[in-house]
Structure 1
């Protein structure tokens, strides 16, 4: 079965060993070109980070 496209609202995990966000789970907020804005929430903080779609894996 082919991978489904990553769309806004998709839950993703970061798969990039060079990123400090490697292994973090978040929600895609918007997509622009080959990059996605991903919202990470944790305890008492929220962070919106833009990263390449190639480093994201849908879960």
Structure 2
């Protein structure tokens, strides 16, 4: 697959020791396909469900 694969990362809470600051990162496994390929596959297997978007306001509130 020549598509760009993203690697989501989630920052763990920072832990403070008296003198040392330890910061760790969770690392997630890569998926074997692009998100563009993943979404239709999930739809086909009924693992995700789409929903209608909210109506667009004619006039923005600001």
Q: What TM-score do you get using the length of structure 1 for normalisation?
A: 0.24
Higher share of residues assigned strand: 1
Q: What TM-score do you get using the length of structure 2 for normalisation?
A: 0.23
* Max Rg structure: 2
